[in-house]
Amino acid sequence: MSNNKRLLVFLIISIIISGGFVTLTSEFESVNDNIVSYTADTKSQNIAFYWKDDSGQIIRSLGSLKTIVESKNEELVFAMNGGMFNKDNSPKGIYIENQKTLVSLDTATGNGNFYLKPNGVFYLNTNNEPFICKTEDFKDNGQIKFATQSGPMLVVNGEIHAAFTMGSKNLQIRNGVGILPGNKVLFAMSKKETNFYDFALYFKNKGCRNALYLDGFVSRAYIPAKNWIQTDGNFGVIIGVTK
């Protein structure tokens, strides 16, 4: 029996069982319900990457960033941890802030999520254009305003990372970033534990041709417009949008 015929039989049985009504919940809808997200327009909004404050102290938490932003008479409208970090809270992999390379690109091979190849880099150039690329494709041409490295990639050229398995029991809170059609940036975090495949599926179904995993169970997001307010954390890089 062909796949189309199987689907037709399934629909007929569903109609009979439900007394003439069919309620289908798509895989995308179930994934979508588990996500809190924020869309940023880098052309019209002030997006920046943060690690240390003006005195050289690591900012660490979303609450600390909020305090710093408000001390400058600005408002924090979004914040999220922005990539993996070492035990001393230094960024793991490349970190560029205001065109200064503070940590070099990590092209090594190793264990753990960061090294699940392909991993990648999320960056903004000096024209505030956002990009996500595989680590091997990243080139610092001197026109990079901000950059953070993490891994694995979630979506690569429109396809879910080949190492991810549908139905995997590897469940964690996860956060990531993708580039939407129209060149806006989609930040997302799962509200509850999810696997890599389902998390990547969210970005793919939103139209992201490339998306990057940022981190796991430590992840936090500050999105007051959606009543999602987390101000704790102990991070390296933090990504924020201010006004």
Residue 33 confidence (pLDDT):
84
Q: Cα separation of 112 and 242, whole Å? A: 33
- Write the secondary structure of 14-75 as one string of H (helix), E (strand) and C (coil): HHHHCCCCCCCCCHHHHHHCCEEEEEECCCCCEEEEECECCCCCECCCHHHHHHHHHHCCCC
**122 Cβ neighbours under 8 A, 6+ residues apart:** 82, 83, 130, 131, 132, 147, 148, 150, 177, 212
**51 Cβ neighbours under 8 A, 6+ residues apart:** 58, 59, 91, 95, 97, 102, 236, 237, 238
Q: State the average pLDDT over residues 169-189.
A: 97
Judge whether residue 30 has pLDDT over 60.
no
Residue 32 confidence (pLDDT):
76
Closest to 180 (Cα-Cα) out of 222, 223, 210: 210
Contact predicate 95/147, CB 8 Å: yes
pTM for the whole structure = 0.87
pLDDT in tens, 123-160: 999 999 999 999 999 999 999 999 999 999 999 999 99
pLDDT in tens, 94-131: 999 999 999 999 999 999 999 999 999 999 999 999 99
Judge whether residue 27 has pLDDT over 60.
no
CA 150-106-52 angle, to 5 degrees, is 65
Backbone phi, psi, residue 193, to 5° = -60, 135
Domain boundaries, the chain: 1-33, 34-242
Average pLDDT, the chain: 90
Q: Report the percentage of the chain scoring pLDDT > 90.
A: 86
